Amino acid sequence: MTNELASLSSELAKVVESAARSAVAVHARPRFSSSGAFWRPGVIVTAEHTVRREEEITVTLPDGTNAPATLAGTDQGTDIAVLKVESAGVALPTTETPQPGNLALAIGRSEDSGVNATMGVISAVSGSWRTWRGGRLDHYIRLDLTLYPGSSGAVVVDVAGRAIGIATSALSRIAGVAIPASTVNRVVDEILARGQVSRGYLGVGLQPIELPEHHKGLIVLSLGEDGPAAKAGIFIGDILVSLDGVAVAEPEDVQNVVESQSVGQTVRAGVIRGGEPRTLPVVIGERPRKD
């Protein structure tokens, strides 16, 4: 007996079987394990929020065996953690941005029951998106599929079995999000090269304010001790109006400029002090890491 539903069902099971070659379980927190996926030979990617310890991390590989893993680095901002294992593993091909409405499967693994799958559709896709954790995703990919405990870090695939990204429940309250494959690539590159993702840093606390004639600016409310802004001679009470020639009205405008510059570069900060405009050169620093 053949019917379209049965053949769709069989196709979906094949996609899961194929993606299962890459899916691992990650044991790096109490109670629930999470999922992860081989991204490159010997390199596994998972969701950073599920990694609660830096040592004694193990993974359950696609063949069901457990292996020790070392933490190569993490990026809280994009919720990505990179692990290294001895086994090479199989990385899936990746795909360009999906369309809203495309079917998607999140494929993870647990030690007890092996590979697991959950299905739904891509519910929204937009351009570059800054997460509440401060990182930037190349696309916002919202998932209309149920993420269960242990699903974070699962690889999200299309019906051809290509990786759309890595599933996480920690970046949005209303839905699961796929961290896009291109963002994962970028973060993995940086972590493997330097052990971390550095973020530009000015060391200022800013508050948007209205200026005369409908102009907007950001008043400096606090200064990080010995931070780049303090060293450049910026004072509390200065009003920041431009950075590197770009007008800034919201703190996010500042983040966008600071991030696109590599750390160590000098940018010109336009400020208003005592009603007088002036320009100060600021050397962008590196955001101190929380321990």
Partner 1 sequence: MSGFGEISERLRRSTVRVSSGRRQGFGSGVIWSASGLVLTNAHVATDAESQVELWDGRRVAARLTARDRRRDLAALQIAATGLEPATPGDSGALRAGELVIAVGNPLGFAGAVSTGVVHSIGRLPGMGRQSWILANVRLAPGNSGGPLADAQGRVVGINTAVVNGLGVAAPSNAATEFLRRGPQPSLGVTLRPMSLGLLILEVDEGGAAQAASLRSGDVLLIPLDDLNAALDSGRATLRLPFLRGDTRRVRETVVRLAPEAVAA
Contacting residues toward partner 1, per CB under 8 A: 1, 3-6, 8-10, 12-17, 20, 105, 110, 112-119, 145-146, 148-149
How far, CA to CA in Å, does 146 sit from each of 107, 121, 149, 161? 12, 10, 10, 19
Q: Which is nearer to partner 1, 146 or 222 (CB)?
A: 146
Q: Which is nearer to partner 1, 76 or 169 (CB)?
A: 169
How far apart are CB 12 and partner 1 at their closest, in Å?
A: 4
- The total of other beta-carbon atoms located within 10 Å of residue 105's CB is 22
How far apart are CB 80 and partner 1 at their closest, in Å?
A: 24
What is the torsional sign of CA 67, 112, 16, 63?
positive
Q: Which is nearer to partner 1, 153 or 200 (CB)?
A: 153
How far apart are CB 150 and partner 1 at their closest, in Å?
A: 8
Alpha-carbon span 22 to 157, nearest angstrom: 11
How far apart are CB 32 and partner 1 at their closest, in Å?
A: 9
Alpha-carbon span 120 to 117, nearest angstrom: 10
Q: Which is nearer to partner 1, 12 or 232 (CB)?
A: 12
Angle (nearest 5°) at CA 227 between 222 and 232? 95
Q: Which is nearer to partner 1, 17 or 96 (CB)?
A: 17
How far apart are CB 115 and partner 1 at their closest, in Å?
A: 5
